[in-house]
Amino acid sequence: MTENEISSIIIGSAIEVHKQLGPGLLESSYEICLAYELRLRGLEVETQIALPVIYKDLNLEAGHRIDILVNKKVIIEIKSVDGFLDIHLAQILTYLKLSDLRLGLLLNFNVPKMTDGLKRVVNKL
């Protein structure tokens, strides 16, 4: 399955979770429900993946975690905020670079309509 196909399923799943729960919950609630929805749709889902920072020969376990990794190809970063900030984009770009992946989705569930809380992020490798 391609990254774009996975992305489409993720977006549909996020819309479904948002329809059921609405805005205003903690990010962890959306993460659990989205992971469940993605598994229902047949995708391989890993949550809270530790992401070390490698500096020269030094491996730093700095506490960075990917919210959801889908089919080992697409990173999902979940937010429940008033709006995306530059730091949110920087965070997912850094996660993509550190994991050597190309596609990430920022999902903000604290919006009236889920399509307003989607941001597709591409690492140019």
pLDDT profile of the chain (125 residues), mean per 10: 97 98 97 98 97 86 90 98 94 94 98 96 89
Strand partners, 50: 65
Q: How many domains does the chain have?
A: 1
Q: What is the pLDDT of residue 35?
A: 98
Which DSSP category does 115 fall into?
Answer: G
pLDDT of residue 20: 97
Quote the pLDDT of residue 4. 96
The CA-CA-CA angle for residues 47, 30, 60, to 5°, reads: 35
Confidence (pLDDT) at 63: 77
Domain extent, residue 112, equals 3-122
Q: Residue 57: what pLDDT?
A: 87
Rounded to whole angstroms, the Cα distance separating 122 from 125 reads 9
CATH code: domain of residue 102: 3.40.1350
- The model's pTM is 0.93
Backbone dihedral angles phi then psi of residue 74, each to the nearest 5 degrees: -125, 130
